[in-house]
Amino acid sequence: MVKIKICGLTGERDTAAVNLYKPDYVGLVFAPNSRRRLTIKRAAEICDMLDGGIKRVGVFADQSMGFINEAIQSCKLDVVQLHGSEASNFCSKFKGVEVWKAIRIKGCDDLKGLDAWPVDALLLDGSMPGSGHALDWNLLHDIRVKNHIILAGGLNPYNVKTAIAVVQPYAVDVSSGVETDGYKDADKIREFIEAVRGMEDNE
């Protein structure tokens, strides 16, 4: 079963929508320069409203170990998603949480050396994270790596089935594609989750 992450919750309405439609993961963005960026205090408040069965992913980019550990503790994060230029020795330092490393895929060269990352999953994204721009999924057709692949970048309720068919990822991750005018849209969240889970019903 392909897992689903809805990323970039910012408030009560978003939280109510995910509690209703129950993706496997939600993402809380701490990365600087994101319009979805949360303080640790605000993220912890959102987590307090979140269904206990949904796993919490903190999205960071080139932030300190101290800041990330504070967010892990305050928000009871299950996963740390490292979306900057973190080196592999930084990725291997976390205890008690999964680590997902984001890799920007612009061409075939970016697929080299993926197996060397000491992480639980590789999150393959386009060149502009959080922007709704897709990568070329055909680059990932036939990809064979030892870690889980999480496909991100430009997914939406209308293209996610094709993306899954081409890439066969462990999980799919969406933010912009379930928003309208920059805010999470409960109907699009439902449509995205139904599209993914509907594929499984037809298998």
Ligand X SMILES: O=C(O)c1ccccc1N[C@@H]1O[C@H](COP(=O)(O)O)[C@@H](O)[C@H]1O
Relative to beta strand 171-174, strand 3-7 is parallel
- What number of chain residues touch ligand X (CB under 6 A)? 26
Burial environment of residue 122 by CB neighbours within 10 A (0 to 12, 13 to 18, 19 or more): buried
Q: Are 135 and 107 in contact (CB under 8 A)?
A: no
Whichever of 87 and 201 has its CB closer to ligand X, that residue is: 87
Does position 11 bind ligand X by CB under 6 A? no
Contacting ligand X within 96-125 (CB under 6 A) = 123, 125
Whichever of 5 and 94 has its CB closer to ligand X, that residue is: 5
Choosing from 7, 75, 120, 173, which is the catalytic residue? Answer: 7
Measure the CA–CA gap between 62 and 82, rounded to whole angstroms: 8
Nearest approach, Cβ of 53 to ligand X (angstroms)?
Answer: 20
Applying CB under 6 A, which of residues 3, 44, 63, 132 lies at the interface with ligand X? 132
Measure the CA–CA gap between 189 and 15, rounded to whole angstroms: 11
Applying CB under 6 A, which of residues 28, 31, 140, 171 lies at the interface with ligand X? 31
48 is catalytic: no
User: Quick one: which segment of 48-56, 71-79, 109-117, 169-177 binds ligand X (CB under 6 A)?
Assistant: 169-177
Q: Tokens representing 202? A: 């037809």
Over its C-alpha atoms, the chain yields an Rg (Å, rounded) of 16
Choosing from 14, 125, 173, 185, which is the catalytic residue? Answer: 125
Applying CB under 6 A, which of residues 77, 105, 164, 175 lies at the interface with ligand X? 175
Residue with tokens 């996610």: 160
7 is catalytic: yes
Nearest approach, Cβ of 84 to ligand X (angstroms)?
Answer: 8
Nearest to 83 by CA among 118, 124, 112: 124
Applying CB under 6 A, which of residues 2, 8, 56, 71 lies at the interface with ligand X? 8
Residue with tokens 């990323």: 7
**Cα–Cα–Cα angle for 97, 68, 123, rounded to 5 degrees:** 60
Does position 173 bind ligand X by CB under 6 A? yes
Residues marked as catalytic: 7, 125
- Point out which residues bind ligand X (CB under 6 A): 7-8, 27, 29, 31, 34, 36, 59, 61, 81, 83, 123, 125, 129-132, 152-155, 173-177
